Structure 1
Amino acid sequence: GEGGGRGAAMEGGGNSKGTGLGGLFGAGGLGYSHADLAGVPLTGMSPLSPYLNLDPKYLVQDTDEFILPTGANKTRGRFELAFFTIGGCCMTGAAFGALNGLRLGLKETQNMAWSKPRNVQILNMVTRQGALWANTLGSLALLYSAFGVVIEKTRGAEDDLNTIAAGTLTGMLYKSTGGVRGIARGGIAGLTLTGLYALYNNWEHMKGSLARQSL
């Protein structure tokens, strides 16, 4: 009698303890045991976390989440990109000019023996060409960015039309000292370059549109 009562008490204590732990971890908090869930089909259901009783798919976000100031856009405007554009063009021009100056310096001093005067002449050519190209590309980037910001603020919209218009006006103004022909050539050059950039920027979208039309 005493042994049977003690066994029943231990069995009851074990059940209550298991229920309590189940309430803290896993599906036991819902009042179901593993035996109750054994006959339930799980086809098409996402596995639940054994610790939080939560579907993990709700914890995965497909889009970036960040806090933006009131009225701010997720993409940077032309004014914000202007500094990056101008700086990038200056550094690109300096690098290209330095390489071009090295090529010209070696070509002009090929009949000279390796000496200090030759090294100085090559270094001067590298410095001169680097500064020239950095100034040229930086000036073009400055004009392009200024036209882009003005056109964006005037139209109240940002699209590829602003890019093409800014590039065309930049070429026209940069070559304005060459007369009407210079303006025309500069405008055509700016239009061509920015048009190719807009085409490259929208190439994937155009391919998708053509694919849908073919279907």
Structure 2
Amino acid sequence: MEGGGNSKGTGLGGLFGAGGLGYSHADLAGVPLTGMSPLSPYLNLDPKYLVQDTDEFILPTGANKTRGRFELAFFTIGGCCMTGAAFGALNGLRLGLKETQNMAWSKPRNVQILNMVTRQGALWANTLGSLALLYSAFGVIIEKTRGAEDDLNTIAAGTLTGMLYKSTGRVECVG
């Protein structure tokens, strides 16, 4: 035996093939191995059947294979709300610990920190969720109006969202 090793083999190679059942690479009669043996002894199936060359989705007649802007809006709004809540909670924890640093660890301090975490989490989730809602609504409206989906819709939706978000502040004239 070369290298003083055991022909039964150990490690991951034994999970899917020759290494764990006493077969050596010479027993496969010159069949090249590329990570897996030709036949899995545990699953009793040939791994080449697991490879998919084409998409296997059933789509309604005339449907696109990509999601539209309206479908992606739900993911965008939810993702922004979750991100805002996580960021706000971390910011609330930081602020709560900073504001109560002179207090001893007690129930009132814990309650004050928890209140800051939930208040900041809700504030940031609401803010980012509202911005995502505006952006998604503008994007869908512009897409339906123009009848085309391209980068111009994204730029216009972002611009309108920013303008509306900043419109609550006063307008200053330089001159």
CA drift at 1:20: 45
Report the CA distance shift for 1:47/1:94 in structure 2 as closer, same or farther (over 3 A).
closer
Structure 1 unaligned blocks of 5 or more: 1-9, 181-212
1:129 deviates by 0.1
Shift of 1:164: 1.1
Give the one of 45, 51, 63 matched to 1:60: 51
Give the match's secondary structure for 2:7. helix
TM-score norm. by structure 2 comes to 0.67
- State the number of aligned residues: 174
Residue 167 of structure 1 and its aligned partner are, at CA, apart by: 0.7
CA distance in 1, matches of 2:105, 2:11: 88
Alpha carbons of 1:118 and 1:62: their partners in 2 closer, same or farther (altered >3 Å)? same
Q: Which runs of 4+ in 1 moved over 2 A?
A: 10-63
Q: 1:173 Cα shift?
A: 0.5
Report the alpha carbon displacement of residue 160 of structure 1 after superposing the two structures with TM. 1.5
Whole-Å Cα distance in 1 between the matches of residues 10 and 134 of structure 2?
74
Q: Deviations over 1:132-172 (max 9, x none)?
A: 00000000000000000001111111112111111111010
Q: Equivalent residues in 2 for 1:1-215 (5 A)? A: 62-180=53-171
- Which stretch of the first structure deviates more once superposed, 163-172 or 25-34? 25-34
| Partner Cα distance (2:166, 2:49) in 1 | 58
- Of residues 25-34 and 141-150 in structure 1, the stretch that sits farther from structure 2 once superposed is 25-34
Note the C-alpha offset of 1:179.
Answer: 2.9
Give the alignment's Cα RMSD to 1 decimal: 12.3
Shift of 1:67: 2.2
Specify every segment of 5 or more residues in structure 2 that has no aligned partner in the other structure, as ranges.
none
SS at structure 2 position matched to 1:154: helix
Contact kept? 1:92, 1:134, Cα under 8 Å: yes
Shift of 1:58: 12
What TM-score results when the alignment is normalised by the length of structure 1? 0.55
Give identity over the alignment, percent. Answer: 97
In proportion to residue count, which structure has more helix? 1
